[in-house]
Amino acid sequence: MADSDFPGWHGTTIIGVRKGGRVVVAGDGQVSLGNTVIKGTARKVRRLSPGGYDVVAGFAGSTADAFTLLERLEAKLEMTPGQLARASVELAKDWRTDKYLQKLEAMLIVTDGKDLFVITGAGDVLEPEHNIAAIGSGGNYALAAARGLYDYEEDAEKIARNAMAIASDICVFTNGNLTVETIG
């Protein structure tokens, strides 16, 4: 079966907003197969605590692939406690060079309350400008909404929730069932 014949797993929106000493990561709960909603209450934002060090991660893409990456990130964090940047770079290096990991189709937003990164399979560890990161099918809508709200709203969670509401109104692969985690 060719890639174009398979409808593929679609949809999610994950956003990370840093403001006022806090970082909020929010994600919707919709999982779609082609044009069909398979599940509306998935948890795509999770709290990791390797060695008592809190990290919040949100993922877009294949769930199994994302869980594999989250497990690898936890292992990297255990080897470099308190160093999210270093652990993220090590994960990105492995993801880019390991033949098994190269096939994984997911993206991550990770934060320890201080740093905020997007990690991709292309070997990127990106620190977003303007204290906002967004990924997934509705990521650009959420990013635009959050950027518009950022100067007018003081609460990071309100910015994230409002941006996600706007994204879910626009992107058919995003719903309003949110998982929200705050750190910092």
Catalytic residues: 12
174 is in an annotated binding site: yes
62 is in an annotated binding site: no
d(CA 83, CA 141): 31
The token pair at 155 is: 């609460």
Q: What is the 3-state secondary structure (H, E, C) of the chain?
A: CCCCCCCCEECCEEEEEEECCEEEEEECCCEEECCEEEECCCCCEEEECHHHCCEEEEEEECHHHHHHHHHHHHHHHHHCCCCHHHHHHHHHHHHHHCHHHHCCCEEEEEECCCCEEEECCCCCEECCHHHEEEEECCHHHHHHHHHHHHCCCCCHHHHHHHHHHHHHHHCCCCCCCCEEEEEC
Backbone dihedral region for residue 60 (phi beyond 0: left; psi -120 to 50: alpha; all else: beta): beta
Please state, as a whole number, how many other Cβ atoms lie within 10 Å of the Cβ of residue 38. 13
171 is in an annotated binding site: yes
Annotated binding-site ranges for Na(+): 168, 171, 174
- Residues annotated within the binding site are 168, 171, 174
